[in-house]
Amino acid sequence: MDLSHPINALSPGLTGAVLEVLCRTTRPLSGRAVQRLLPRSASQAGVQKTLDRLAAEGLVTQTAAGRSILNLLNRDHALASAVNEVVAVGDDIPARIAEIVETHAKGVSMALLFGSVARGEAGPGSDIDLLLIWPAGTEEPVLWAAAAEVAVGVTRLTGNPCTPLVYTDEDYAALPERAPGFAESLAREAVTLIPAA
């Protein structure tokens, strides 16, 4: 799933992109303003045609303002809450991954989300980068079995591959010396899932 733009999983064309822009504002926008806010390039004619079609369905309200037509998501429409929910799915992913870790990796000291998902740049082919840090002395079969269950749960949640990295507290503490670039990257971008902030 494109975690930065999850609506693309259901509506990969211009319709999904236009709806995403309209969901993220309460301000009426001209077709040109919608076009500028799209996550990818699209023609003005294509954007306006999409807005007109959505208005014909009642999902968008259009109001004349001089020579412009202003467009606003009709939040009273029967589909508006569903569209908003799909657009917002990406915002909930870290919390839902944390729930999976809490369920399948009981006893983990820390869980960090890093990489493109943590940076908000994940696309449809992005994997989920997850680091599970366990107390020293945790038996290897326990931590690897838990990591496998977490991987399955996260992949089922998103459709994206997940192969968690597994460290002990001691390994993690030694990371700045052993892999300084990776340690710096984690310090800069990682999202702490567990313990909860």
Residue 148: which of 162, 158, 133 has the closest Cα?
Answer: 162
Q: Indicate the DSSP class of residue 134.
A: E
Is residue 58 domain-shared with residue 122, that is, in the same domain? no
Q: What's the number of domains the chain is made of?
A: 2
Are 109 and 171 within one domain?
Answer: yes
CATH code at 157?
A: 3.30.460.10
Same domain? For 10 and 62 the reply is: yes
Residue 1 is assigned to a structural domain of this protein: no
For residue 28, the model assigns a pLDDT of 98
**Would you say residue 165 lies in a domain?**
yes
Answer yes or no: do 23 and 110 share one domain: no
DSSP letter at 128? B
Return the DSSP state at 58.
T
**What is the maximum span of the chain, computed from C-alpha positions, in angstroms?**
71
Assigned domain for 84 exists: no
What is the model's pLDDT at position 39?
83
Burial of 27 (0-12, 13-18, 19+ CB in 10 A): exposed
Same domain, 55 and 104: no
What's the gap between Cα 91 and its chain centre? 6
- Pairing of β 110-114 and β 68-73: unpaired
Distance CA 93, CA 142 (A): 25
Residue 85 lies in a domain: no
Task: Name the 3-class secondary structure at 44.
Answer: helix
Q: Are residues 11 and 54 in the same domain?
A: yes
Residue 169 domain-assigned?
A: yes
| Residues 34 and 102 placed together within one structural domain of the fold | no
Please tell me whether residues 96 and 187 are part of one structural domain.
yes
What pLDDT sits at residue 125?
87
Residues 53 and 145 grouped into a single domain: no
What is the pTM assigned to this prediction? 0.84
Amino acid found at 87: V
User: Tell me, what's the pLDDT at 197?
Assistant: 61
Burial of 97 (0-12, 13-18, 19+ CB in 10 A): buried
Task: pLDDT tens for the chain, 197 residues: list them.
Answer: 988 889 999 998 999 999 999 999 999 999 999 999 998 889 999 999 999 999 999 999 999 999 999 999 999 999 999 999 999 998 899 999 999 999 999 999 999 999 999 998 888 889 999 999 999 999 999 999 999 999 999 999 999 999 999 999 999 999 999 999 999 999 999 999 999 76
Q: Are residues 136 and 164 in the same domain?
A: yes
Question: What confidence score (pLDDT) does residue 129 get?
Answer: 97
Q: What is the β-pairing status of strands 165-168 and 129-134?
A: parallel
Q: What is the domain extent for residue 18?
A: 6-77
